[in-house]
Amino acid sequence: MRMIAKMHLAYANAIETVRNKKGQNTIEYLFMLGIIVVVVGIVGGLIKTFMPELFDSVKAKIMGEAGNL
């Protein structure tokens, strides 16, 4: 019987902890910040890979059009 009472008390405490929203905003902001850091890191890596080709392509198009003037 004591085991059931302890389990019920632990369950009630767990439910109360979930319902208690104190500190929830901090965790949410840290989670969002983590996601933003990961996304910026991935995008930064992709930009670093493709930007030289993009700049060379734009430069070639500008030089080609400037030669046609």
pLDDT in tens, 7-22: 778 878 777 776 666 6
Domain that holds residue 54: 2-68
| pLDDT tens column, 28-45 | 888 999 999 999 999 988
Q: How many Å apart are CA 57 and CA 63, to the nearest integer?
A: 10
Q: Is the pTM of this model over 0.75?
A: no
Q: How many domains does the chain have?
A: 1
